[in-house]
Copies of this chain bind each other. A is one copy, B any other.
Amino acid sequence: MSFTRPEPPYYAVVISSALSGEDPDGYAAMAVRMAELGARQPGYLGRESQTGADGRELTVLYYRDTESITAWQRHTEHLEAQRLGKQRWYADYHIEVARVERAYGFQRS
What per-residue 1/0 map shows which CB atoms of A76-109 lie under 8 Å from chain B? 0000000000100011111111111111111110
State which size class the interface on A falls in: 35 or more
A94: which of B16, B56, B93, B103 is its contact (CB, 8 Å)?
Answer: B103
- List the B side residues contacting A86 at CB < 8 Å: 106
A-B contact pairs, 23 of them (CB 8 A): A5-B94, A12-B12, A12-B14, A14-B14, A14-B48, A14-B60, A49-B52, A49-B58, A51-B52, A66-B101, A90-B108, A92-B107, A92-B108, A93-B105, A94-B103, A94-B105, A95-B103, A96-B100, A97-B100, A97-B101, A97-B103, A98-B98, A98-B99
